[in-house]
Amino acid sequence: MATNFPTSLDTLTNPTSSDSLSSPSHASQHANVNDAVEALQAKVGVDGSAVTTSHDYMLANMGNWTSFTPSWSFTSGSLTLTTNNGIYAFVNDLIVIQCEFRVTSISGSGSLTLTLPSAAAVSTGLFAYFTPGFSVIRDSNVATHYAAYPFSVNSTTVFNFRLVGGDSVTHSAPIPWAVNDEMHTTIIGRKA
């Protein structure tokens, strides 16, 4: 019998002290147990496993942060940044993304957009329009903070932002972006 593991559990026959080596078959017993042990080893994985479905790989990479450079833009024009950092981590099927930027100059207009790398894609399944998250915008001139949230419309990597209260984050809202203004964003969702 080939092993059923990991899709279902095997039912193995335990011989008793009064059983002969042929009933149940001694060779079959060893073959069945060997198949089951090999399936367990594949599922658990060797130390430092690169097999993404193995427990060793998943545990070793659970919560490890991966750095990336976020792609921020306005509908038209350009946004130049002195600081532009991003990190993401997976915990099972959950992804946590954190991004921040500080403005050097802006010659853009329209809505602010964040594009993530495909490796950090967020599922649009349950949250087809809204992805849980939070953003803080800091006006460096008056040290005022504004709350916003990320949202995505049928994209796993492209997010727009709305101020708490409903208006879009744009080149002029909630502030006319200027040197040293900042935005910090956290997005939490299911990985795509």
107 or 169: which leads in pLDDT:
169
pLDDT tens digits, one per residue of 65-93: 999 999 999 988 788 899 999 999 988 88
Q: Are 144 and 61 in contact (CB under 8 A)?
A: no
At 149, phi and psi to the nearest 5? Answer: -140, 145
pLDDT given for residue 146 in this prediction: 95
Q: Are 161 and 73 in contact (CB under 8 A)?
A: no
CA 172 from centre of chain: 31
The Cα 137–Cα 178 span in angstroms is 12
The pLDDT mean for the chain works out to 85
Total-model pTM: 0.69
pLDDT tens digits, one per residue of 36-53: 888 888 888 888 888 877
Residues in CB range of 142: below 8 A, 6 or more apart: none
pLDDT given for residue 129 in this prediction: 55
Say which amino acid occupies 159.
F
pLDDT given for residue 86 in this prediction: 96
In this prediction, residue 182 has a pLDDT band, given cuts at 50, 70 and 90, of: very high
The Cα 22–Cα 5 span in angstroms is 25
pLDDT tens digits, one per residue of 105-158: 888 889 999 999 988 888 876 555 556 789 999 999 888 999 999 988 778 889
